[in-house]
Amino acid sequence: MNIKLILNPVDGSQHSIHSTHYAIELTKLLNAKIILMHCHERFPIVLSEPYFQQAVNEIGKASEELVEPFIKIFEKAEVEYDVRILEGAPGNKIPEVARIEKIDLIVMGSRGVTNFTGLLLGSVAHQVLHKSDCPVFITK
Q: Given pLDDT bands bounded at 50, 70 and 90, which one contains residue 115?
A: very low
Residue 117 has pLDDT above 60, yes or no: no
CATH (residue range 5-139): 3.40.50.620
Residue 25 has pLDDT above 70, yes or no: yes
Q: Given pLDDT bands bounded at 50, 70 and 90, which one contains residue 41?
A: confident
H runs (alpha helix) in 31-113: 51-77, 90-100
> CB 139: neighbour CB atoms within 10 A?
17
pLDDT of residue 64: 94
Give the pLDDT mean for 57-77: 93
Strand arrangement, sheet containing 81-87: 81-87, 33-40, 5-9, 105-109, 136-139
Cα 61 from Cα 4, distance rounded (Å)? 30
Looking at mean pLDDT, say which of 49-53, 78-82, 110-114 comes out highest.
78-82
Residue 87 has pLDDT above 70, yes or no: yes
Q: Which residues contact 27 (CB under 8 A, 6 or more apart)?
A: 6, 33, 34, 79, 80
Number of H helices, E strands in the chain: 4, 5
